[in-house]
Structure 1
Amino acid sequence: MTTAATPALAQAPLEGLRILDLSHFVAGPWCTVLLRELGAEVIKVEPPGGEISRNMGGVYAAGESAIFLGFNSGKKSVCIDLKTAEGREAVVRMAHEADVVVQNFRPGTAERLGVGAEQLRKVRPELVYCAITAFGPDGPYAERPANDPLIQALSGAMWATTTPGGTPIRMGVSLPDFAAGVLAAIGILSAIRRKSSTGKGATVDINLLDSQLYAQTDLLAGGEFSPSVQNGSVRCSEGRYFWVEADGGDSARVPVQGLSEVLRNDTARTRTLEHPTVGELHQLKIPVDVDPPWPATASPPPLLGADTRDILGELGFSDRTIERLADQGIINDDQIRTSNVNTTTPHNKEMP
């Protein structure tokens, strides 16, 4: 167990690794925020107006969606229009300076935008490229859109959470997204490890349906799931719910808690970051404990386009060119980002 007295390592394990994050919503950003927590630099490319999760969900703080705040800490934001030729050129140049590219477009979209695996690895063979999709690159469902509830329904996860009354229900957590994000991160790190000996990159394909199925491997081994009449939540006279488990001969009874109860005054599992518009932002720490520890890499999620000017400058774009791209609406840079903070009613939209 890491203790406060243990000196930290000089650098985080992924320090020096540059990730170009073209992903949106949950699964892709969950993958890249894990890599950021381990020390990688993550450059998030967003379209004008911001990626979809900035404008989705039922919980907002100072105009910022909780979905975006939850999965984008510590990243840099470049706001650029991939539908324009100059925007695509800039993103391709970013990819050529990156070690890893992550995207979760629908199959075929990245190729149409000129940022597909074969297109980028043709000029940069050592690139590790990760594509996260709902159903994989081919098959009958490949072109269909999907979200967490649909994957839970198709994968058997919803059936596995059937109520005693016989109604399948959705889990309250986005396990398909989390499973895909974690497996994508593992695949990326494995490809990087292999590259250290071969010098060659890789293309990593992950899909949500297979990831959720993999999370249910014990159910497959045990046969079709059927709800147990011995286990379940019970409402007591004081209004509290308890989970009662009677299988195996040794009974157990634990309270069913809300997140605020679990984490009340728990500074070991949580952290507080200062966000430029939200103020104090409370988040969970990555649950990986290492001795000796590495330095903390935590910083708040970026405002839209906060790092556009700096990143383009590193790539050799002149100030004059950057100003022209901003005037044409191809980019939003940090000097005009405050006009793009969402304060309107949430609405659905899609990346290109």
Structure 2
Amino acid sequence: MSTKRTPPLAGVTVVEIGAFMAAPFAAMQLADLGADVIKVEHAVGGDPVRQTGPFLGTESSPFVRINRNKRSVALDLKSPDARRAFLRLVERADVLVENLRPGAMRRLGLGYEDLREINPRLVYASASGWGQDGPLAGLPGLDIMAQARSGLMSITGHPGGPPAKVGVPICDLVCGLYVALAVTAALRERDRSDAGQYIDVSLYEAGVSFAVWEAGKYFATGEVGGPMGSAHQSNAPYQAVHSSDGYVTIGATTPRNWQAFCDALGLTHLLDDPRYADAFSRLANRTELIGTIETVTSTMSTDEIVERLNKAGVPCAPIADYGEVFTDEHLAARDFFWDAEHPTVGPVRQLGSPMRLSETPVRRDGAGPMLGADTREVLAAVGCSPKEIEGLVASGAAVAADG
């Protein structure tokens, strides 16, 4: 029987200067793993996601989810006094994660070269649209621009249709995941060298990193892929097909699964058809193959197809909407969703972390904090006197939600 222990990143202090998605999502991963994440927000308004609906009372519903397990300190870093308080915080931190426009932190005197002078062990991670150098570095870069330039939008959607992006901000999110992974790697290296380092991750390169199949094709043959709807780039049948009441996804690409698929749906005559003799042949003749498959699947309900294929051991799944996902019995059985407490709105339903560690489980603490909820506590812990803290609050260089 497993005994719950201290989370793996307990004792690691992370300072986040993040807005919107990439840095906050990265820091959320680190917070889930036990790090003490101190979210430093602008004293006026804080993270812009705080103004993004829908709202729970006066609190942003997206904000209180993506910023769970964190503490909030509200400072105006353009104020000399607030900047001095921030530097005290950095002196004792292990990690800084930021996603301001390249150069913005340097202009504040808070770039990596500045901060390593006061904390040589600091791991400093920057997330940006295009990276910290190169011809595009100075341009604004949102997720949709990264999806466009990275090639993702060129292969998303249906042939001949208008441009389509992935339904979630995938470049933002995977950039955040790469930042979190790089930070943990840099902390491991610091165990050996006792020195911090700088990490540069971009939405653009995060998006390009997905092109595993496309790179394999292009660098081998020079062929450039295009949109294929739900179909796979190099396997068939592997896509959504019509049922009598919608669609169902199928994946019958191995010899065993192809045999079981045909047997389960009464398509055994396809097993002797030379056009479908192997995976390469089925891919070359995909249009005819899918048409034949759909003459059968379109007469059956999605539930019936899934039941038959599951019984035969063939990979398949219905296409669920999020109303179904968020009430899914499998996820409920695995205790994926959980409620985080918030001081004003009460329990806030959270998406669980996909990281399941048997001995050191991830944290499930509070929902995203109110702006400046921890300003006084955090600044006092890094040596600011009560007089200094009250002076910051009185001048507007800091916000403290606790009074």
- Report TM bin, short chain: 0.7 to 0.9
Q: What secondary structure, in the 3-state scheme, does the structure 2 residue paired with 1:102 have?
A: strand
Give the distance between the partners of 1:254 and 1:294, measured in 2 at CA: 29
Structure 1, 165-174 or 30-39: larger mean CA deviation = 165-174
Is 1:328 matched with 2:391?
no
Distance 1:230 1:50, change over 3 A: closer
Give the distance between the partners of 1:36 and 1:318, measured in 2 at CA: 27
Aligned twin of 2:384: 317
Give the distance between the partners of 1:295 and 1:33, measured in 2 at CA: 11
2:195 aligned partner, one-letter code: K
Aligned twin of 1:277: 344
Aligned twin of 1:346: none
Give the distance between the partners of 1:293 and 1:200, measured in 2 at CA: 26
Distance 1:295 1:214, change over 3 A: closer
User: TM-score of the superposition, structure 2-length normalised?
Assistant: 0.76
Give the superposed CA RMSD.
2.1
Name the % identity.
33
Give the distance between the partners of 2:326 and 2:169, measured in 1 at CA: 19
Cα distance, 1:317 vs. partner?
A: 1.9
- Asked whether the equivalents of residues 230 and 245 of structure 1 are also in contact (C-alpha less than 8 Å), the reply is no
Any gaps of 5 or more consecutive residues in structure 2? 219-223, 232-238, 262-292, 294-314
Matches within 5 A, 1:66-215: 66-215=61-210
Distance 1:36 1:59, change over 3 A: same
Deviations 1:29-52 (A, max 9, x none): 111110111111001100021111
Q: What secondary structure, in the 3-state scheme, does the structure 2 residue paired with 1:176 have?
A: helix
Deviations 1:111-166 (A, max 9, x none): 11121100000222111111111101122211111211111111111111122443
Aligned twin of 1:348: none
Deviations 1:69-127 (A, max 9, x none): 23210100001111111111111111111011111111111011121100000222111
Any gaps of 5 or more consecutive residues in structure 1? 337-352
Distance 1:188 1:230, change over 3 A: closer
User: TM-score of the superposition, structure 1-length normalised?
Assistant: 0.87
Deviations 1:3-31 (A, max 9, x none): xx42222x111110000111211000111
User: RCO (CA 8 Å, sep 6+): is it higher in 1 or 2?
Assistant: 1
Aligned twin of 2:367: 300
Q: What secondary structure, in the 3-state scheme, does the structure 1 residue paired with 2:49 have?
A: helix
Give the distance between the partners of 1:230 and 1:208, measured in 2 at CA: 24
Cα distance, 1:60 vs. partner?
A: 2.5
